Amino acid sequence: MESFRTAEDCHRSPRAVTALASDYPHGCYIGPHRHLRAQLIHALTGVMTVMSEHGSWVVPAGRALWMPAGSDHAVRVFGDVSMRTVFVAPDARPSLPGGCEVIEVSRFLREAIVAATRIRLDYELGGRDHRVMELILDELDTAPRLQLHVPMPGDARLMRLCEQLIANPSEAVTLADLAAGINVSERTLARLFHRELGMSFGQWLRRMRLLLSLPRLAAGVSVLQVALEHGYDSPSAYSAMFRRTLGLAPTAYLNAQ
C-alpha cells in the first residue's frame, strides 16, 4: 500500500474498487460529507454511529454499513475505531445495493477488506489484486443483512441521549432520569422514543446493548464480563434476554458463527 492515501486518491483511481485504512480516536466526529463512490464502512474495533439522509444506525465492530454514492452522511466514533472503507464505483456491478444496509462481516470478508487496503490504487486488471477486489463484491452480494438493527433518531435532544447510552452501555439509567436531563416529562420522552425510533425506550436500550455485546462475545470475553459491561446484574439475566431476542443462548450463537 502507498505510505499515505486519502478518500480523494481512492476516487481518482481508474479502478472500480479501492480501499482505505483510517484510524479515529474516541469521541471523534466526522461532519456531513459525501463521496462520488459508494462505501462499505467497516470498523475493526470500536463502534460508529452513522447519520445520513436515509436514516441513522449503530455500527459496531464485526458489522459494516453500505452507503450509496452521493449520500450525505456524518460519523461519530465511540472507542478508538480502526475504520476500513471499501469504495465502489456506482457502475461496478448491477447487483450493488441501492440503499443503506447494515451487513454482517464474516472473518473471510474482514480479511479481504484488510488486504484490499494494502493494494495499490492502480492495480493490474486481471491480476491477483483485481481478484481480491472482485471477491469483496462477491461477498457483499451474499453477506447476511443485519436483522438486529438499532436505529438512531433525527431529533437532536434524543440523539445526544442515545449517544450517551452507547458510550456507557453499563450505566444504570431510567426514562425518568433521562427526561430530567433534557427538562421534559417522562411521558414526553416516551412518546419521543416511539415517534423517532418506532419502539419504547426499554426496547431500544435492550437492542442497543445486545448489538454492542456481540463483538465482545466473538472476541472471547466471558458471558459474565459481557453481561456486566452491558448493564446486566448477572450472566443469567443477559442470557435470558439473549434467548428472547435471538432464540438461542450466547454460546450457541457463537458456535453458529
Delineate the domains of the chain, giving CATH numbers in brackets. Answer: 7-142 (2.60.120.280), 156-256 (1.10.10.60)
The per-residue pLDDT for range 19-58, each reduced to its tens digit, is: 999 999 988 999 999 999 999 999 898 888 888 877 778 8
What would the 3-class secondary structure string for 184-224 be?
CCHHHHHHHHHHHHCCCHHHHHHHHHHHHHHHHHHCCCCHH
Residue 102: what pLDDT?
Answer: 86
What would the 3-class secondary structure string for 130-166 be?
HHHHHHHHHHHHHCCECCCCCECCCCHHHHHHHHHHH
**Which residue carries 433525527 as its cell?**
154
The per-residue pLDDT for range 201-249, each reduced to its tens digit, is: 999 998 899 888 887 887 788 999 999 999 998 999 999 988 888 777 8
Average pLDDT, the chain: 89
- Predicted structure pTM score: 0.73
The three cell numbers locating residue 34: 459525501
**pLDDT at residue 119 above 50?**
yes
* Helix, strand, coil percentages in the chain from 3-state DSSP, rounded to 5: 40, 20, 35
The per-residue pLDDT for range 72-90, each reduced to its tens digit, is: 999 988 888 899 999 999 9
- Quick check: 5 and 20 in contact, CB under 8 A? yes
Residue 128: what pLDDT?
Answer: 97
